[in-house]
Amino acid sequence: YTVIVDPLTSVDVPTAFTPNGDGVNDVIYVDGWGIKRLIYFRIFNRWGQLLFESNDIKVGWDGNYNGVPQNMETYVYQVSAETYLPEKSLQKASSFRLIR
């Protein structure tokens, strides 16, 4: 038998989350395959204000900025991650909805 390992990597963020305190989907995180290290995860509001930033893949955004719950709307994110493949990093920028 021959086993072929296909070295795939990906980085992803959900398209919506619901930080309503019910314990389900209350925090938005970066997810993916083959991520060695998160370089950054940044979230911006519609005016380009940075609301959240982390380089720890286990830390996500709870929908608050300076202790204030943010409005239901669309937010933009940027992600950069180092993978286990030599000299291969992943970047992604897109948006998601905050639903209360």
Distances 76 to 14, 51, 93 between C-alpha atoms, Å: 12, 10, 7
CB of 72 within 8 A of CB of 98?
Answer: yes
Q: What pTM was computed for the model?
A: 0.91
User: What local confidence, expressed as pLDDT, does residue 6 receive?
Assistant: 81
- H-helix or E-strand containing 62? none
Q: What are the two backbone dihedrals, phi and then psi, of residue 14, each rounded to the nearest 5 degrees?
A: -60, 160
pLDDT digits (tens, 9 = 90+) for 43-95: 999 999 999 999 999 999 999 999 999 999 999 999 999 999 988 899 999 99
Number of H helices, E strands in the chain: 0, 9
User: What local confidence, expressed as pLDDT, does residue 47 receive?
Assistant: 96
